Structure formats: C-alpha cells, structure tokens
C-alpha cells in the first residue's frame, strides 16, 4: 500500500516506515561527522524513541560509543495502521547501531509503570550492567496513578487569564486564531503529576536501591524556559508549572546522587526544536518558524542532534559547562541572546498572518515536522507500495 501523510490538529496519525529508516540513517550520518568524546559507557534513556531522547541516544552511541537502554511508548503496525514513527525509529536505530559493535536494548511500554521499572532493572542485573547516565526525556499526555490506577491527563493551558494567539495549521497551511483557556487548579496539579519530576526521581531511587547505578552516575532531564515571545503559553502556563516541579526534583536527585554515588542530577535548559510534542503546543509553530529564520541568519542555528552533541561533549562531560544561578545547564544560550529574541519578536509581529509561509524558517519548520514522521525524506519514493505486512514482522530488540 502507498502511505500518504495523515495529520489532525498538528498531530500525525500515521508514519512512513521507510521514511523513518531514511531519517534515522540521516541522523547517524550527521553524528558521524561530530567529534568523539569521552562519555558514559552505559546509558538509560527514558523516552528515547523520538525528539530529544532519540538525538541524545544517537550522539552518545555514535560519538561516545555508549551502550544504550531505551524505554518508550510507541504503537506497533497493525493491519492498515502504520505504527508510530517512534516504533520505526527504535527498529531502525538498532539496524544502524549494529555497525557500532556496542549493545542496545529497547523496551516498549509505559515508563510510569512499576512493571516497566522492574523489567529494566532485571535486564540490567541479568547483564551485570551498571548505568553511568540516566536521561529522562518523556513528553507524555497522561500518566496512570501508581496507587489508584486512575489515568491523569496533562493539559496545555494558560494560568490566570485565557490567552489569545495564533498558530499554524500545518496540514491546511493556514493560520488559526486560538484562545487558550485558563486552567483550573486541578488541571495545573494534573499537568504537574504527568510532566513534573516525581517519576524521574522514582526511577533514580529504584535504580539506586537495586544497585544498578555506577559510581559517579549522572541523571539529566530537559526543561525549557523561552522568553516573553511564548511565556504565556509555556513557562507561565500549566507546562511551566510542571517544569518548575521537574527542576525541583532535579535538585533533590542531585543531593541524593551526590551522597549515594558521588554523582549528580542535572537539568539542561534546551532550545526549542521541532518534535511531535512541541508542534502540538499552541503558538510554538509560529515561534519556532521565526526562530529558525533568525538563528540561521545569524549563523547560530543548530540541528537537534548538534544541540545534544554539544550538550554532552561540552557541558555534561566536557569543561565548557554554562550554568545559571539555579544551577541549570544553559545550552539554550544562543536562542536566548537578547538581540536574537528581539529579532524573533519583531519578525513574529510583522509576519503574524499568511505572510509567515514566505519565510524559509517556516518552510524548514514544516519540512522537519513531516520528516520526523517519515515524510519528505530525500531519496524515498513515496509513490512506491510499502510492504507493511513484511515490515510488521520486525520487532524492537
């Protein structure tokens, strides 16, 4: 069957397996040009099938020759359903990584669950492996309550007053006016529960108690600060509260790992990039399009893999760590330069209508959105039938 892009409200409802294969190949190829660095030997990535978790996994596997364990929540192909992009990313990651001569393991299931934590710990014990780096890179819409089993959902809402704004409808190539409602207290608490740091700390402590962490182990998670361009929907909204909580747990993980393993807990403030989680956030498509335009013009644009390579090579394992007064790693410093932010604001104001589609930054934003789901990849013949039945026999390892 032929597979054509299917998008609803800026969310892909399908993926192209052969496009995902080409995408993963391109990320490995890109990483092969980056410099090697002395890093961790064994890395556990929670949320490593796409976005920041995937790019972290690739640069650590390629440039630091690390072994990786990845936990992700992805859907397999079934009948006419293609499966999610992350499903194929896991499979094709393994195929590319075969050439590295290192060990890579995938667990597909719910990272929030106790059974998944247990499964990972058992595998590490069986292999007699101790972890040097834990990356917590989940972007989740819901989390089951560990005690009650109730499914709690996160929301992307404003706090206090509703916020009016515009976003890009990618499938229709149009601008949509939107009002982002004000969250109730319950919605704020629920978003903190899903996207905050409690589960991260739980992972770290359980791994430590199971004695599968190495001396000097590091744990890192990714936050976003942004600027007044996107503050109302991001840092001052429900997701911002969850990030405050993540950062608070980061401090407590830091204290814990320092005492237990002479290790450290880290928060990296990362830049805005195109991922399935970010595109879905109202206004972010506008912001990222104009940000691409401005950062490229000033020669400070980085791809997602470059960004994570610089994070680990320079700031986590290297000697060029930039931290703010709260101890957070500020790898987002190019995006946050005042003159860059000012220019993004001016451009957003001038182009806050259909003119946005004239910008190269917007074209790049749209292309990347298709590419992370396996479409628009050079060299892939999208008119060809895809043998989904055969591909469905491939399993993550």
Residues interacting with ligand NAI, by CB under 6 A? 47-53, 71-74, 86, 110-112, 137-140, 222-224, 270, 272-273, 275-278
Phi-psi region for residue 306, left (φ > 0), alpha (ψ -120 to 50) or beta?
Answer: alpha
Q: Measured from the CB of residue 50, what is the shortest distance to ligand NAI in angstroms?
A: 4
Q: Measured from the CB of residue 375, what is the shortest distance to ligand NAI in angstroms?
A: 16
Phi, psi for residue 328 in degrees, rounded to 5: -85, 140
Q: Measured from the CB of residue 122, what is the shortest distance to ligand NAI in angstroms?
A: 17
Query: Contact at 8 Å (CB) between 226 and 235?
Result: yes
DSSP state of 388: H
The closest of 32, 72, 68, 25 to 50, measured between CA atoms, is: 72
Directed axis angle between helix 198-209 and helix 238-261, to 10°?
20
Tokens of 214: 């190495």
Nearest to ligand NAI of 68, 261 (CB atom): 68
Nearest to ligand NAI of 331, 377 (CB atom): 331
Nearest to ligand NAI of 82, 261 (CB atom): 82
Q: Measured from the CB of residue 17, what is the shortest distance to ligand NAI in angstroms?
A: 16
In the set 23, 52, 234, 351, the catalytic residue is 234
Cα 263 to Cα 118: distance, rounded to the nearest angstrom = 22
Q: Measured from the CB of residue 388, what is the shortest distance to ligand NAI in angstroms?
A: 21
Phi, psi for residue 209 in degrees, rounded to 5: -65, -30
- Annotated catalytic residue 222: no
Query: Contact at 8 Å (CB) between 80 and 169?
Result: no
Contacts (Cβ under 8 Å, ≥6 apart) of 68: 42, 43, 44, 45, 48, 57, 60, 61, 97, 102, 103, 104, 105
Nearest to ligand NAI of 132, 335 (CB atom): 335
Nearest to ligand NAI of 51, 83 (CB atom): 51
| C-alpha separations of 351 from 6, 231, 368 in Å | 27, 19, 20
Nearest to ligand NAI of 137, 290 (CB atom): 137
Query: Contact at 8 Å (CB) between 334 and 311?
Result: no
The closest of 101, 75, 100 to 89, measured between CA atoms, is: 75
Distance between first and last Cα of the chain: 26
Q: What residue number has its CB nearest to ligand NAI?
A: 51
Q: Measured from the CB of residue 165, what is the shortest distance to ligand NAI in angstroms?
A: 17
DSSP state of 372: T
Q: Which residues are catalytic?
A: 234
């Amino acid at each position: 069957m032929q597979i054509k892009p299917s998008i609803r409200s800026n969310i892909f409802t399908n993926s192209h397996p052969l496009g995902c294969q080409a995408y993963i190949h391109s990320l490995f190829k890109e990483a092969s040009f980056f410099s090697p660095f002395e890093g961790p030997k064994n890395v556990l990535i929670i949320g490593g099938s796409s976005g920041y978790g995937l790019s972290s996994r690739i640069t650590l596997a390629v440039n630091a020759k690390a072994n990786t364990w990845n936990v992700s929540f992805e859907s397999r192909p079934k009948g006419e359903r293609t499966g999610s992009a992350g499903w194929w990313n896991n499979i094709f990651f393994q195929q590319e990584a075969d050439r590295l001569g290192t060990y890579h393991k995938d667990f597909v299931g719910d990272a929030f669950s106790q059974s998944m934590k247990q499964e990972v710990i058992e595998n590490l014990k069986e292999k007699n492996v101790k972890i040097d780096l834990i990356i917590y890179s989940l972007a989740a819409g819901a989390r089951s309550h560990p005690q009650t089993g109730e499914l709690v959902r996160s929301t992307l809402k404003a706090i206090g007053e509703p916020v009016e704004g515009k976003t890009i409808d990618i499938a229709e190539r149009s601008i949509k006016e939107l009002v982002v409602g004000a969250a109730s207290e319950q919605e704020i608490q629920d978003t903190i529960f899903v996207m905050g740091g409690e589960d991260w700390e739980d992972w770290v402590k359980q791994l430590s108690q199971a004695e599968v962490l190495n001396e000097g182990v590091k744990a890192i998670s990714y936050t976003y600060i942004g600027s007044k361009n996107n503050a109302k929907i991001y840092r001052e909204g429900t997701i911002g509260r969850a990030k405050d909580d993540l950062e608070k747990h980061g401090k407590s993980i830091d204290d814990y790992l320092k005492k237990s393993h002479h290790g450290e807990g880290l928060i990296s403030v990362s830049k805005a990039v195109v991922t399935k989680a970010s595109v879905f956030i109202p206004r972010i498509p506008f912001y990222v399009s104009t940000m691409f335009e401005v950062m490229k013009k000033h020669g400070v644009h980085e791809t997602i893999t470059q960004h994570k390579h610089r994070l680990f090579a320079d700031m986590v394992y290297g000697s060029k760590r930039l931290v703010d007064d709260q101890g957070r790693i500020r790898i987002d410093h190019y995006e946050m330069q005042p003159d860059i932010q000012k220019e993004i604001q001016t451009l957003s104001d001038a182009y806050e209508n259909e003119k946005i589609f004239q910008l190269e930054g917007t074209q790049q934003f749209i292309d990347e959105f298709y590419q992370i789901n396996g479409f628009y990849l050079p060299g892939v013949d999208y008119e060809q039938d895809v043998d989904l039945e055969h591909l469905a026999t491939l399993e993550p390892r």
